[in-house]
Each structure stands twice: as structure tokens, then as C-alpha cells.
């Protein structure tokens, strides 16, 4: 499966989370990590993950503008997931954030959101994203990839009653 992780990062936290997500998926999928400023038209992409920051309750301008730079219909039918990074606020101050705004824009351009937009949080202003939030982000993106990747059971050509021989890994040959 081909996955693009497109991100906008002002202070480096969104980049750090996007890179961790891309690295986690790279073991099973063909993954491309791209800053939104350099992202071209996503052809033959099975999953598009878009990440952006939210600064001072403002939408991410570059990320919101990117879909309008693409050819008409470029996102039609493409599976997508969107995340943002924001500061923790009191519950009554929480409202639709950057991820929801970007998700609405991508949907209006024909994209298919396969999960609700997700927010990851910074503990304090000016602090880097915590390892715990990165772990949550990696788990979130792996769950999404597993959800859309076809699961096929492994094929075994072993007749009933036959003994299975396991070949050791090269590192075990001399032991």
C-alpha cells in the first residue's frame, strides 16, 4: 500500500509526530513523508495522512490552501486521515480545531475520511511533544493502516500430518 504523510509544521512538533508515523508504517508499506509546501498531486496513493498544527485558534493556512492547488478531482475517492497538534485547554474551550477544518476541506474536494480527525496535545506552550503523544499517534496511524489493508491469511502448502521444519535465521547458523 502506498501512503503519503503530508504535514505542516511551524515549531517542529508536527514534523516529529508525522516522521514517527511514517517510520512506523514504513515496515509494511511504501511511505512518503512530505512537507505540505512541497506536496504535489498524490497519484496512486492508497492512504493520505495530513497533519498540521493549531496556533492561537487559527487554521493552518498552508494546509488549507494545498487542496486548491491540486487538479480538479485529484482527491476524489482517496482514503484520508487528518490530525492536528494543539495545546491542552479546559474542556469548555475545546472546539473544532485545525484537523476538523482540514478534514472538511479535503472532504469537499472528494476525499473519503476513514476516521474522525484526531488531536494530539502539547502539555505546555513552547514544550516539545511528549513521547506518550507520539506513541498514541503511532498507534492511531497503525490502526488506520490495518483497517484499510486487506488481510489475507498466510498460505501454507503443508499436507496434514507432515512435519514442519523451521529454517533458522542466519544469525543462528553458527550457534
Domain map (residue ranges) of the chain: 2-172
Are the CB atoms for 98 and 61 separated by under 8 Å? no
Whether pLDDT at 167 is above 50? no
Cα 68 versus chain centre, distance: 21
Are the CB atoms for 98 and 53 separated by under 8 Å? yes
Q: What is d(CA 87, CA 85) in angstroms, rounded to the nearest whole number?
A: 7
Give the mean pLDDT of the chain. 83
Q: What is d(CA 112, CA 82) in angstroms, rounded to the nearest whole number?
A: 11
- Percent pLDDT > 90 in the chain is 63
Q: What is d(CA 12, CA 79) in angstroms, rounded to the nearest whole number?
A: 26
State the pLDDT at residue 10.
85
What is the rounded radius of gyration, in angstroms, for the C-alpha atoms of the chain?
20
Whether pLDDT at 35 is above 90? yes
Task: Number of helices (H) and strands (E) in the chain: give both, helices first.
Answer: 4, 6
pTM beyond 0.95: the answer is no
State the pLDDT at residue 90.
52
Whether pLDDT at 169 is above 50? no
State the pLDDT at residue 125.
73
Within 13 A of 158's CA, how many CA atoms are on the CB side?
10
State the pLDDT at residue 162.
43
Per the rule left: phi > 0, alpha: psi between -120 and 50, beta: everything else, 63 is alpha
Q: What is d(CA 23, CA 161) in angstroms, rounded to the nearest whole number?
A: 41
Whether pLDDT at 57 is above 80? no
Are the CB atoms for 20 and 64 separated by under 8 Å? no
3-state secondary structure of 92: helix
State the pLDDT at residue 77.
94
Q: What is d(CA 29, CA 107) in angstroms, rounded to the nearest whole number?
A: 24
- How, if at all, do strands 79-87 and 118-122 pair? parallel
Q: How confident is the model at residue 94 (pLDDT cuts 50, 70, 90)?
A: low
3-state secondary structure of 21: helix
| CATH entry, 2-172, from 3.40.50.360, 1.10.357.10, 3.30.930.10, 3.40.190.10 | 3.40.50.360
Amino acid at each position: 500500500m502506498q501512503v503519503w504523510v503530508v504535514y505542516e509544521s511551524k515549531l517542529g512538533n508536527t514534523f516529529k509526530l508525522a516522521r514517527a508515523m511514517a517510520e512506523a508504517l514504513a515496515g509494511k508499506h511504501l511511505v512518503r513523508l512530505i512537507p505540505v509546501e512541497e506536496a504535489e498531486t498524490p497519484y496512486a496513493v492508497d492512504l493520505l495522512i495530513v497533519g498540521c498544527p493549531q496556533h492561537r485558534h487559527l487554521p493552518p493556512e498552508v494546509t488549507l490552501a494545498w487542496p486548491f492547488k491540486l487538479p480538479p478531482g485529484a482527491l476524489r475517492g482517496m482514503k484520508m486521515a487528518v490530525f492536528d497538534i494543539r495545546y491542552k485547554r479546559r474542556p469548555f474551550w475545546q472546539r473544532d480545531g485545525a484537523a476538523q477544518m482540514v478534514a472538511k476541506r479535503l472532504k469537499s474536494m472528494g476525499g473519503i475520511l476513514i476516521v474522525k480527525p484526531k488531536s494530539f496535545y502539547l502539555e505546555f506552550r513552547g514544550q516539545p511533544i511528549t513521547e506518550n503523544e507520539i506513541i498514541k499517534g503511532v498507534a492511531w496511524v497503525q490502526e488506520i493502516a490495518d483497517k484499510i489493508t486487506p488481510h489475507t491469511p498466510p498460505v501454507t502448502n503443508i499436507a496434514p500430518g507432515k512435519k514442519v521444519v523451521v529454517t533458522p535465521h542466519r544469525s543462528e547458523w553458527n550457534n
